[in-house]
Structure 1
Amino acid sequence: MKILFIGGTGNISTSVSKLALSKGVDLYLLNRGKTEGEIPGAKTITADIYNFAEANKALKDHSWDVVVNWIAFSPEHIENDLKLLAGKTKQYIFISSASVYQKPPTLPVITESTPIVNPFWQYSRDKIACEDVLNDAYRKNGFPITIVRPSHTYDTIIPVAIGGSSEYTIIDRMKKGKKVIIHGDGTSLWTLTHSRDFAKGFVGLLGNQRALGQAVHITSDEVLTWNQIYQTVADAAGVELNAVHISSEFIGKIYHEKKDGLLGDKSHCAIFDNSKIKSLVPDYNATIPFSEGIRETLNWFEEKPERMIVNPETNAIMDKVIAAYES
């Protein structure tokens, strides 16, 4: 198969790119050439996907079995792709988000039939709007869509709710014995998925005719409390956990950038029924426990000092929230 990944070198997509190549896929990556990572074996097309003239010039002589857009976040992005790729791909996969599912949830287990509505988080509402545009294109014009909804997927990020996931700040705080914030009482249930596990399900959807017109999430079946997640991170760092529990509402009043993501996602339980991905990709099974995956992640950060970013602004806002709460 000849496949185009728009993006393809990020936290989730790098593992997918590597697995696809190992399966013999003829993989092209379209990006602006500004990303650190390279994927050996993939061909690179350099262009800005959202500069229509530039992208059209770069892609005009190609047709594809599958196109995956890892970096579409608004309906305008989708409209651009529809113009660019009409008649040029047999399958278009949009990376949505499991945060689109109903908040607050009315049922404890999420399936693909769970309503998609999120009144709290604009990011999720934009993803929903993207899905609406694609479903309309599928119904009216037969544009061959598949929608994939990852949940909290990690590899080169530290999957905490407060503390800077793309930074080393939370680990530095833990190692120095400083307090870290856990939202709520830490007992809500959450699902974390390693990107290599996600890749196994995702690659099985490439060129999968049964997936056309479908939306599907791909997650682990391991469910942890936030207390367990933070304790596992501390264990991987080899330190004692010094946690303070603060309500999401209180955090949001001070740490404004986190308010919508907490109230619209991480303050709710997230337990997923993976029956649909397992029916579409029968050999899909997530096998990397968080206790193992997070150690790999910390090793990745610590391999290169330049990855171990300690952000003073992240520290300052965490200290501010904690001081306000304790006062």
Structure 2
Amino acid sequence: MAKTKVLMIGGTGIISTDCSVLALQQPDIELYLLNRGKTPNFLPPDTKTINADVNHEDELREALAGHDFDICCDFLSYDQAALESKLRALRGRCRHYIFISSIMAYRSTEKLLKTEANSPIGNARWSYGWEKSRCEMHLRQECANSGMLFTIVRPGYTYNRVRFFNPWTISHWRSWTLAERLLNGKPYILHDDGMQLCTVTHTRDFAKAFVGLFNNPAAVNEDFHITSTTYLTWKRVAEIQAELLGVKPVFHCLPAETICAVVGYGPAQKVVHCCSHDLYDNSKIRAAVPAFSCTTSFEEGMAESIRFYRDNPGYQQIDPNWAAWFDTLAKM
């Protein structure tokens, strides 16, 4: 029986690494990664890789010559132009396109518990969510015209060993900046009072649902958010992290408007979004992938992250801009 040929566009990022790991463990999947080969790779050395800059269409088309894929998973399109470029390069080479969008694409509604049906996309409050919305709309139109199958996946607040979970737009590779503040007794900034609930999902659990959509009739031309049912306040997130680090947190609460005034609206867009509860009903993905369950608690996942950073001090990078902003905010 022929294996399903799957292309991960990306495949080594925060969300996609565990998806790649799980896909590699499936006997009926032949996995390829498509990326520049510059991101630290936690995958087996014999993983099949196609190296190309996905932002250069001619280079991408040349790299894909001779390949056809049953499923293409796009983790690297953050605006419509980037998506259009990939779709052109893959035209006629892909049967089923899985686009990784975001829960940030949803517009704010009066619904406390969001479902795919009660939450329209088109978040105009955050450029990231707005661009993901435009990508979704374009993909639906493209697939309606071409007949290619699609699935839209919206991850929530995800984390793994590299991402020290936080509500800021700080680079994941420099998220140790938050741990450094906790470890050194520096004021830890909370937006408003930090009591807003968020949905916390480890990427290892996310991967179970994601890979479960491969060759799944329930996934065809559908959209899903993939989230756990673990809800924590942002203050509790920081408290758990501090407990695992063996320190007592020093909180400093500020209105989101004040934070925006210091760091600028661009870097503060995520924390502004986090000023409301963000809760999701995951019934649809559980119905499509009955084996999906979330088994990594936040305490377990964060403990793994802290062990990783302590065992690999070279990854303990501090973002100088955010460190300076936090110091400024702490004095206000």
TM class by shorter-chain length? over 0.9
CA distance in 1, matches of 2:91, 2:134: 20
1:124 Cα deviation from its structure 2 partner? 0.8
Partner of residue 14, structure 2: 11
1:38 Cα deviation from its structure 2 partner? 4.6
Q: Give 4+ residue runs of structure 1 displaced > 4 Å after superposition.
A: none
User: Which whole-Å deviations, capped at 9, do the CAs of 1:7-45 have from their partners, x for residues lacking one?
Assistant: 100111111100011112211111112122152142011
CA distance in 1, matches of 2:271, 2:312: 31
Q: Which amino acid aligns with 1:70?
A: F
Partner of residue 263, structure 2: 255
Residue in structure 2 matching 1:84, options 78, 89, 94: 89
CA distance in 2, matches of 1:38, 1:273: 31
Is 1:290 matched with 2:298?
Answer: yes
1:274 Cα deviation from its structure 2 partner? 0.4
8 A Cα contact 2:168 2:270, kept in partner: no
1:106 Cα deviation from its structure 2 partner? 1.1
Partner of residue 108, structure 1: 112
User: Which whole-Å deviations, capped at 9, do the CAs of 1:271-318 have from their partners, x for residues lacking one?
Assistant: 110011011101101111111111111111222111011233322111
Partner of residue 139, structure 2: 134
CA distance in 2, matches of 1:56, 1:163: 32
Ranges in structure 2 where 5+ consecutive residues have no aligned partner:
none
Residue in structure 2 matching 1:206, options 214, 222, 225: 214
Q: Once the two structures are aligned, what percentage of the paired residues are identical?
A: 36
Is 1:307 matched with 2:312?
Answer: no
Q: Secondary structure at the match of 2:110?
A: coil
1:138 Cα deviation from its structure 2 partner? 2.3
CA distance in 2, matches of 1:26, 1:163: 34
8 A Cα contact 2:155 2:227, kept in partner: yes
CA distance in 1, matches of 2:324, 2:39: 29
8 A Cα contact 1:161 1:182, kept in partner: no
Ranges in structure 1 where 5+ consecutive residues have no aligned partner:
none
CA distance in 2, matches of 1:178, 1:200: 37
User: Which whole-Å deviations, capped at 9, do the CAs of 1:62-109 have from their partners, x for residues lacking one?
Assistant: 111110111111111111122122222221111101011112x31100
1:222 Cα deviation from its structure 2 partner? 0.5
Q: Which amino acid aligns with 2:17?
A: T
8 A Cα contact 2:168 2:271, kept in partner: no
Residue in structure 2 matching 1:231, options 236, 239, 248: 239
Q: Secondary structure at the match of 2:151?
A: strand
Q: Secondary structure at the match of 1:268?
A: coil
Q: Secondary structure at the match of 2:69?
A: coil
- Please report the TM-score for the alignment, with normalisation by the length of structure 2: 0.93
Q: Which amino acid aligns with 1:109?
A: L
Is 1:71 matched with 2:76?
Answer: yes
Q: Secondary structure at the match of 2:152?
A: strand
CA distance in 2, matches of 1:138, 1:162: 34
Partner of residue 166, structure 2: 160
Aligned length, in residue pairs? 322
- Please report the TM-score for the alignment, with normalisation by the length of structure 1: 0.95
1:209 Cα deviation from its structure 2 partner? 2.4
Residue in structure 2 matching 1:172, options 180, 183, 208: 180
8 A Cα contact 2:169 2:267, kept in partner: no
User: Which whole-Å deviations, capped at 9, do the CAs of 1:229-263 have from their partners, x for residues lacking one?
Assistant: 11011111110011111111111111114322222
8 A Cα contact 2:9 2:73, kept in partner: yes
Q: Which amino acid aligns with 2:24?
A: L
8 A Cα contact 2:218 2:288, kept in partner: yes
8 A Cα contact 1:91 1:207, kept in partner: no
CA distance in 1, matches of 2:126, 2:274: 11
Q: Which amino acid aligns with 1:4?
A: L
1:163 Cα deviation from its structure 2 partner? 8.5
Partner of residue 58, structure 1: 63
